[in-house]
Structure 1
Amino acid sequence: MRKLCIIPARGGSKRIPRKNIKEFIGKPIIAYSIEAALSSGLFDEVMVSTDDDEIAEVAKKYGAQVPFFRSKDNANDFATTMDVLVEVTKRYKEVGSEFGVVCCIYATSPFVSKEILQNSFAVFEQKNFDSLFPVIKYGFPIQRSIRVEENKISFNYPENANKRSQDLKDAFHDAGQFYWMKQDLINQGAVIVTDNTGAFEISELQGQDIDNEVDWKLAELKYELIQSIK
């Protein structure tokens, strides 16, 4: 079964200008996603979907393919990840190239490694999931979360206010790094998560949302810590 890696990287990032090719510990951050995908040995093709000439050049420098540019409709702030995946796989199909499995890796995912990709794909394949993505456990039980209104605290789930943390179920959130999907799911063009979507747990150290400059610094610190303890 042929496998395609798609790395979405449009040029219009606003909160962190030129985010997808900003230097992250010595090289453009997109390079980490490209290198992890290539070194995993899993993919028949690793491509970057972009609307930006400079991003395209950086992507090709690090070994990715940029066979076509993203359409204007999917290069705005409102296009979803699924919109991009549908467009890319349709373009490949038009030239006679089809894939059974697609992995979308975000351009700002320096914690993704070849081992994580290989191990997560093994779970995806063995369990025959429609899709699979990495998740991180919340550090505190969300069942005991609170809200603040007019400086007053109240429990979102008052029935859990006096329960011990160890008596509450773990909760997780999407790590926002990559998504394995069957091509059939993309053909439907709707959602990534179905009633047959799998999870691949990673640690809090192995993930970091990067939405602002503080996030960026935290990500660099985490990355350097991981490298120091390998």
Structure 2
Amino acid sequence: MTRVYAFVFARGNSKGLSGKNIKLLGGKPLLARSIEVAKALPQISKVFVSTDCEAIASVARQYGAEVIERPDELATDHASEWHAWQHAIRYLESRGEHFDLFVSLPATSPLRSKEDVLRCLEAVKAEVDVVVTVTEAARSPYFNMVVRDDEGLSSLVCADRTFHRRQDAPKVYDMTTVAYVVRPEFVLQQEKLFAGTVSSVIVPRERAVDIDDIYDFKLAEIFLAEAELKNVE
């Protein structure tokens, strides 16, 4: 039987929106929403929160997650979350915990559904190292995304290929933070997500809001209110 562990990586020193990982959305901490989705899936055996912050750790325990103490050097603005992933896996292995799939459910994506996560788990095949979530991009690098130099001179991101109609260009997607499913050994052996074979699952934009600042948070409030209204109806 495949053993699946879920993780939430939540630093305490968020700059974009202070205290965002435990900020209340619809009366519930963002962190709690990730934990509850994980615990609602019978496929997931355990839920862990990796953090450097005692306030976050307290909320994590309150909602039934185990806490992994994240080293200070892995909780800075410049620290790679990939290294925090590696730390969590090595920590669990050091205490005799072995599992088959690593699922990261960032607290900043509180509108995901358990069905979104389940589809990611189902997308794991023998030849796949990583499953990510994506949503259709509002803009295309072939038509309306540019790079610019210090003088303001601009050019298309994909200037080496010419498409006269947007319909002819490849469809592009934005990566989201709804869920990441990875094989633990891949995380330990590699240093970046796209070093292996990556598959993706499409999620609707209203469930893919990634909260980085107050504007994202207010958008999440709107979508959450609409979703709750539909459930009442």
* TM-score normalised per structure 2: 0.89
Residue pairs, 1:153-192, within 5 angstroms:
155-157=156-158, 163-192=164-193
Matching residue of 2:60: 59
Gaps of 5+ in 2: none
Q: Per the alignment, in what secondary structure is the counterpart of residue 142 of structure 2?
A: helix
Q: Per the alignment, in what secondary structure is the counterpart of residue 142 of structure 1?
A: coil
Q: How much does 1:223 deviate?
A: 2.3
Change (3 A) 1:167 1:10: same
**Cα shift readout 1:175-209 (whole Å, capped 9, x = no counterpart):** 12321001110121411223411000112222123
Change (3 A) 1:189 1:72: farther
Rounded to whole Å, the distance in 1 between the matches of 2:186 and 2:108 is: 24
Q: How much does 1:127 deviate?
A: 5.7
Residue pairs, 1:127-166, within 5 angstroms:
128-147=127-146, 155-157=156-158, 163-166=164-167
Matching residue of 1:213: 214
Rounded to whole Å, the distance in 2 between the matches of 1:102 and 1:162 is: 39
Letter in 2 for 1:61: Q
Count of aligned positions: 228
Matching residue of 1:228: 229
Letter in 2 for 1:135: V
Deviates more, 1:213-222 or 1:149-158: 149-158
Matching residue of 1:28: 29
* TM-score normalised per structure 1: 0.90
Q: How much does 1:102 deviate?
A: 0.4
Rounded to whole Å, the distance in 2 between the matches of 1:59 and 1:188 is: 29
**Cα shift readout 1:97-150 (whole Å, capped 9, x = no counterpart):** 1111101111111122211111111111x4641010101111233210254676
Q: How much does 1:53 deviate?
A: 1.0
Rounded to whole Å, the distance in 2 between the matches of 1:225 and 1:161 is: 40
Q: Is contact 1:144–1:160 with CA below 8 Å preserved after alignment?
A: no
Rounded to whole Å, the distance in 2 between the matches of 1:28 and 1:75 is: 20
Letter in 2 for 1:99: F
Change (3 A) 1:131 1:225: same
Q: Is contact 1:24–1:220 with CA below 8 Å preserved after alignment?
A: yes
Change (3 A) 1:129 1:227: farther
Q: Is contact 2:12–2:53 with CA below 8 Å preserved after alignment?
A: yes
Q: Is contact 2:108–2:212 with CA below 8 Å preserved after alignment?
A: no
Percent identical pairs in the alignment equals 27
Deviates more, 1:36-45 or 1:189-198: 189-198
Q: How much does 1:161 deviate?
A: 7.3
Change (3 A) 1:127 1:139: farther
Q: How much does 1:229 deviate?
A: 3.7
Q: How much does 1:84 deviate?
A: 0.8
